[in-house]
Structure 1
Amino acid sequence: MHGEGTPKFTNDAGAVEIRIGVKEFECIGANPPFDHPHIFLDMGRGVESICPYCSTLYKFDATLKASEAVPASAFYHAKAHA
């Protein structure tokens, strides 16, 4: 799943944990230009993962879609270049 279609998540809100609907994803920390290196994380058989850059705790939630997160603001929508 790693690559262009990999969902990205951010934690601008400073949430204690973020629930997401995928186990393979990228954490970018904060929204650009304050992001950290975009790191690919894979929960494998587990249900949570901690980003080694920003220490955000991500928890898998099977009721969410790949493009959903709780809080909703954590799903990163890339801005289109003009």
Structure 2
Amino acid sequence: MAGNIIPHFANDEGVERISIGVKEFNCMGARDPYDHPHVYLDMGTDNEIICPYCSTLYVYDAQLGPEESVPAGAIVHEAAGRAA
């Protein structure tokens, strides 16, 4: 995704699974002050990945756009230097 903004996702609700519309992204755990290091995750050819820090299961859903998630509040628009 060189040259593209990498979306950030946070699990503030503490759900076990978050569906997202991208395969490359950053997991930040929860929003500050409860975040963990913002870790880059790449599903590659798989359709799911588990964050090694918070154990959130991220599942790719082709019906979702790159700025969408289920639950909807998991996408972070103001993460680490990103404009809202």
When normalised by structure 1's length, the TM-score is 0.91
Corresponding residue pairs, total: 81
RMSD: 1.9
Partner SS state of residue 63, structure 2: coil
The residue number in structure 1 matching 2:37 is 37
The residue number in structure 2 matching 1:55 is 55
Matched-pair identity in %: 56
Q: CA deviation at 1:3?
A: 7.2
Distance 1:48 1:36 in 2: 20
C-alpha spacing 1:14/1:20, structure 2 compared with 1 (3 Å): same
**Structure 1 gap segments, 5+ residues each:** none
- Amino acid across the alignment from 1:35: D
C-alpha spacing 1:6/1:33, structure 2 compared with 1 (3 Å): same
- Amino acid across the alignment from 2:33: P
When normalised by structure 2's length, the TM-score is 0.88
- Amino acid across the alignment from 1:76: V
| Misfit runs of 4+, over 2 Å | none
